[in-house]
Structure 1
Amino acid sequence: MEDRELVSITQGALAIMNPTTPAKVLAAGKAAGLGRGTRVVETGCGNGTILALWGQEYGISGLGIESREDACNRAEETFRAAGLGDRLSVRCMDARDYAPDEPFDCAVSIGASHIQGGFSATLDSLLGLVHDEGTIVIGDRCWRSDRVPPEFAREWPDVLTGYEILGTAREAGLDVAAVIRAGPEDWDRYESAIWQAVLSWLGSHSDHPDRDFMVGYLRRVQDEYFGYGREYMDWAMYVMVPGFW
């Protein structure tokens, strides 16, 4: 099964495809200084919920970039339903190929660092989308400490510790203005939604050729979560602003 199809099955129905909440998304927007007239671009925007929340609360305008056609359609519907179709739009394409006509005020990647190949590469990419005073918001996995069992750490070679993320931001000339972290209940809700989506798919696809793959996927992600992830894996939104040093 292709990765895009797997994501659509397991997370496509989630309003926010990450272990966070609307309240925390709004807190990140506030820390980023979003307001009426702020132009925002989000790479890997999923179904558009984050941009819609910021559009309703802070009056932003902007663009979501998403490669999955089903998600693009949902994002467009999300913007229309929120009454933001005149201020928010989606472009259905690979974010790695996008080049803006003019720089944005804020560039965002929430749970989509895999597009560029990790936090550092994502930060570099987003910096290319904003002007010199632009802000960056990245939501990403990180290790809770540097003492992660090697057999688990090898499964996630691109994941950094929080301290490494801080250093990466500083090396890019940025200060970290805020960190909004996922709580245990956020993780449980997010992971449980994925399991339920897989179980629902299995229940309605008894003869599908990818059935064995999906059963194996469910077992693997549950083993990872209960065996290691709950204890060692963190997730947070990092709000970064131009440095004052």
Structure 2
Amino acid sequence: MQALAHYPDGHADGVDLSPYALERAAEAATERGLADRLTLHERDARSYVPDGDYDLVLCVGSTHAFGGFGGTLDLAGRHVNPDGVLMVGEGFWQVPPTPEALAALGAKPDDHTDLAGLVAAAERAGWTPVYAHVSDSAEWDDYEWSWVGSLTEWALDNPGHPDSAGTLTAAREHRDQWLRGYRNTLGFVTFVLRRI
């Protein structure tokens, strides 16, 4: 929606499996006056076939939808115009992962690489970064507190809901996994990529 707001002649497609996420996106687009330029699709992103290619394809924090970073470069990247941009946000090891970090994430050491490894993987796939933003610890903390906090607030505001107790438990478990596990170990970078 930020891209649509910056480019008043632009049109966008959003793809997600979650009807709730799509509903929220539709509401936000309406509130921002962008609904007439946004088409939402409830389907698996891996099998999404657009009517044409895009000047910009975004996949930030959702590479799992394509099977990881390499799959995103391949599958999402196929929809980018030859001179277009692929923007991908991905996790990486800021430091070698501790056993606590691996346990908290349910991960293996080779599930992520370091930042240089991500750049090398992009270039092997025919893409090169023209810009990158590495989220600092304050941004990462804001993200995690917002994620945990929104679940916690919902649970506290809806004590009689059958999902309330489970939601509160999930928020606490995630918070503890982050704080006692992968905080300052797992980093996040958003690349602006172009074809080599």
Using structure 1 for the length normalisation, give the TM-score: 0.69
Alignment of 1:84-233 (within 5 A): 84-145=34-95, 147-153=96-102, 155-157=106-108, 158-203=111-156, 204-206=158-160, 208=162, 211=165, 213-233=166-186
Task: Provide the residue aligned with 1:47 in structure 2.
Answer: none
1:69 aligns with 2:69: no
Contact 1:119/1:159 (CA < 8 Å) preserved in 2? no
Distance 1:113 1:214 in 2: 25
Contact 1:79/1:89 (CA < 8 Å) preserved in 2? no
Using structure 2 for the length normalisation, give the TM-score: 0.85
Q: Which of 174, 178, 187 is matched with 1:234 structurally?
A: 187
Q: Which of 45, 57, 62 is matched with 2:6 structurally?
A: 57
Query: Which amino acid in structure 2 is aligned with residue 53 of structure 1?
Result: Q
Contact 2:155/2:164 (CA < 8 Å) preserved in 1? no
Question: How big is the alpha-carbon RMSD for the aligned residues of Structure 1 and Structure 2?
Answer: 2.1
**Closer, same or farther in 2 for the Cα pair 1:161/1:82, shift >3 Å?**
same
Between Structure 1 and Structure 2, how many residues are aligned?
190
Distance 2:81 2:147 in 1: 37
- Structure 1 unaligned residues grouped into runs of 5+: 1-51
Match of 1:86, SS state, is helix
Distance 1:209 1:68 in 2: 18
The percentage of aligned residue pairs carrying the same residue is: 24
Match of 1:128, SS state, is helix
Distance 1:210 1:228 in 2: 25
